[in-house]
Amino acid sequence: MASGGVTGRLARAVPLMNDNHNVIANRFRGFLPVIVDVETGGFNARTDALLEIAAVTLEVDPEAGWRRQATFAFHVRPFPGANLERRALEFNKIDPFHPFRLAVEEGEAMKEVFAAVRRQINLHACTRAILVGHNPAFDLAFVKAAADRCGIKDMPFHNFSTFDTAALSGVAYGQTVLARAVRAAGFKWDPAAAHSAIYDAERTADLFCSIVNRWDQAIGIPQD
């Protein structure tokens, strides 16, 4: 988003419904799936600015199955010396220096997001988080580069493994483009809201949950 939006530590939270916190750990071999989307000033994670980050945590409702639990999101100030590609900014429509962005330093954003993820890891007795994204190699590269710049050694995400909703939705719905996959899964897609970290992360989370629920129902994996 060019201005405004969620810059606090928690947004769109819903109460945790299931009492058995180990349901999530048992489903993915101890990994905690966390949906992440970043908006950036280019494609090079080492040189280009991280401008927005959103992370969505999940819960399991015994009746509804997997669903979004909370969204943690920040607008981020470009790190000193960061490169900003004009085409990237035209695409995501972000003005990095807009006074109403209420952006925070990269270190604060990463520490807050990582702390939220670690709390969920502990809550669900998981061993590590695994980044879920639509073509997630891009997002993971920027998360890792930001962590390195900020001197964060204990990143909660797996260092290289990810869940790719582009691949999963290709199998489940025959669509690999995020907008088309979201619509195929039965959700609305707002082109005007797309390419903000919050919107894309939450739609990706809905898509991931839809695929997991569809699979679990098909093969009879319990939700409690």
Express each pLDDT in 153-203 by its tens digit: 999 999 999 999 999 999 999 999 999 999 999 999 999 999 999 999 999
CA–CA distance, 144 with 196 (Å, rounded to integer):
20
In sequence order, which residues have a C-beta less than 8 Å from that of residue 77 and are 6 or more positions away? 96, 103, 104, 105, 106
Annotated catalytic residue, options 21, 98, 158, 195: 195
Any catalytic annotation for residue 195? Answer: yes
Strands 50-61 and 31-40, bridge-based pairing: antiparallel
Q: Is the pLDDT of residue 20 over 80?
A: no
Looking at the predicted structure, is the pLDDT value of residue 4 above 80?
Answer: no
- What torsion, rounded to 10 degrees, do the Cα atoms 172, 124, 133, 39 define? 150
| pLDDT greater than 70 at residue 48 | yes
**Would the pTM of this model clear 0.85, i.e. be above it?**
yes
Give residue 22's pLDDT. 81
pLDDT at 6: 45
- Whether residue 1 is predicted with pLDDT greater than 50 in this model: the reply is no
The burial of 195, by beta-carbon neighbours within 10 Å (0-12 exposed, 13-18 middle, 19 or more buried), is given as middle
Q: What is the pLDDT of residues 73-126, one digit of tens each?
A: 999 999 999 999 999 999 999 999 998 999 999 999 999 999 999 999 999 999
Least confident piece of the model among 42-56, 66-80, 183-197, 208-222: 208-222
In this prediction, residue 214 has a pLDDT band, given cuts at 50, 70 and 90, of: very high
Q: Give me the pLDDT at residue 19, please.
A: 46
Domains and CATH numbers, the chain: 22-219 (3.30.420.10)
Give the separation between CA 158 and CA 97, rounded to whole angstroms.
32
| 5-8 contacts at long range (C-beta below 8 A, 24 or more positions apart) | 5/52, 5/73, 5/75, 5/101, 5/196, 5/198, 6/54, 6/71, 6/73, 6/198, 7/73, 7/74, 7/75, 7/101, 7/102, 7/103, 7/104, 8/73
- Tokens for 185? 């899964």
224 confidence band (pLDDT: 50, 70, 90): low
Tokens representing 119 are 């709390």
pLDDT computed for residue 219 by the predictor: 83
Answer whether residue 12 shows pLDDT above 90: no
**Cβ 158 vs Cβ 30: under 8 Å:** no
User: How many Å apart are CA 182 and CA 187, to the nearest integer?
Assistant: 6
Task: Return the pLDDT at 18.
Answer: 43
- Asked if pLDDT for residue 7 goes beyond 70, the answer is no
pLDDT for the residue numbered 220: 77
Judge whether residue 60 has pLDDT over 70.
yes
According to the model, what pLDDT value does residue 10 have? 42
pLDDT of 116-159, one tens digit each? Answer: 999 999 999 999 999 999 999 999 999 999 999 999 999 999 99
Other beta carbons less than 10 A from residue 31's beta carbon:
22
Q: Would you state the pLDDT for residue 207?
A: 98
